[in-house]
Homo-oligomer: A and B are copies of this chain.
Amino acid sequence: MSSSVRDIAEKSKRASRLLASCADEQRTAAMRAAADLIEQNTTALLQANAQDLDNANRMVADGEITAATFERLRLTEKKITEMVRSTLAVAGLPDPIGRVLQRTELDTNLVLEKVTCPLGVLAIIFEARPDAVTQISTLGLKSANSVMLKPGREVERTAHALVEIIRRALRQSGLPEDSVTLVTGRESVLRLLAMPDLVDMVIPRGSKQLVEFVQANTRIPVLGHAEGICHIYIDASADSDMALAIIDDAKTDYPAACNAAETVLVHRQIADAFLPKLARRLRSRQVVLRGCETTRAILADQAVEAVADGEWRAEYLDLVLAVRVVDSIDHAIEHIHTYGSAHTETIVAEDSIAAERFLAGVDAAGVFHNASTRFADGYRYGFGAEVGISTSKLHARGPVGLEGLTTYKYILRGAGQLARNYQGPNANSFTHKSLPID
């Protein structure tokens, strides 16, 4: 078995070398063929999924998976239609590969280009959701990467059926079928994570526990979905109606999202006037408040619970909001740096000097002025597709589009130039002239 995961990874690597030289038209055609085949095989896919659901039923009974996981696992005709639609949407995006990022003339007939290229092999370790298969496979193909899929046991048969369909589409389109491979068995996760020579990036999709397990057990770069402890700072200069509306949206629009707000910081100068309005608004939205001492004193009539030790770091993912009164914008920024996850932070302020200070001073993937934290999202940012949200500072930060699945290489085209002619006395000199990239 050990050799078999490695065999698959080696096949995947070989396929990635071929993919890297394939034209976008060919990769796009394979994605369109996959969309067609998925649609035509709706019945077979639902049958495979029914087997998974059968097993999962027992797993729910045994307490191995939750009812919520069971629901995420269920494939429906509607979900298949959505898979097809999103596959075609990704196919239609601009080619992320071969884009010239920079072009410099080093000397006559010596031109350097910085050009985007694929990473190579992506390993995706996911749980429950069948649509992870098509989503990652299509993002991978569009960016000319090979994809190795490791599904959770509960979704194995569905994943297998989908992967077989995609591999058929690849063959039909003249692309290497090993561009998309399936890896199964619990022990194969650690084997995959131990192959930095073959796997270029790992993308865990599932629980926070899964993401943390992957991060702790590999030297391969991980593109991990983020924990989002997002703050909204209400400046002394804030328009209070706008502040209430933004807090409401950021907390209640989709509380389980990583870009939902968890903590509101209110400037002391307006706390007496603002906090009662905030409490009223949130009560009407079924949001439970937790507060610092000052907040609880101002809202003394409402029996607001205290924020417990360590709770400023909590990601509630629920209709619960922590509120703290701060002495100044600097105090707010310090709180954010101490307890935040560098995901997305908002200031509500009419004073543009305060706003710019916040935008410059806060170290996070997204810093917003007078807008809901919920805008932190690949689709809303206009990326076309979202690979995930990264709170890592390197490579990709914030919502990550197809670009996050690419790297670049430097291509130098010369006419026999030697380095030694550019040093010492009588050296040729470099022109280092920036050239247009189109």
Contact = CB atoms under 8 A, between A and B. Distances in A.
Q: How many copies does the complex hold?
A: 2
Contacts of A7: none
A221 to B, nearest CB: 5
15 contacts: A20-B363, A104-B382, A112-B381, A119-B394, A120-B363, A250-B419, A359-B413, A365-B409, A368-B411, A369-B414, A371-B414, A374-B419, A374-B420, A375-B419, A399-B410
A117 B363 contact: yes
Given A112-B381, A394-B395, A416 B371 contact: yes
Interface stretch (A130-138, A241-249, A303-311): A241-249
A350 B143 CA distance: 31
* 8 closest residue pairs by CB, A with B: A371-B414, A374-B419, A382-B432, A249-B418, A242-B416, A394-B395, A368-B412, A393-B407
* A interface residue count range (under 10 / 10 to 19 / 20 to 34 / 35 or more): 35 or more
Given A20-B363, A380-B106, A382-B104, A418 B120 contact: no
Given A363-B20, A393-B407, A409-B367, A106 B416 contact: no
Interface string A380-418: 111000000000011101110000000111111111111
A283 interface: no
A88 to B, nearest CB: 19
A364 interface: yes
A394 B392 CA distance: 12
A370 interface: yes
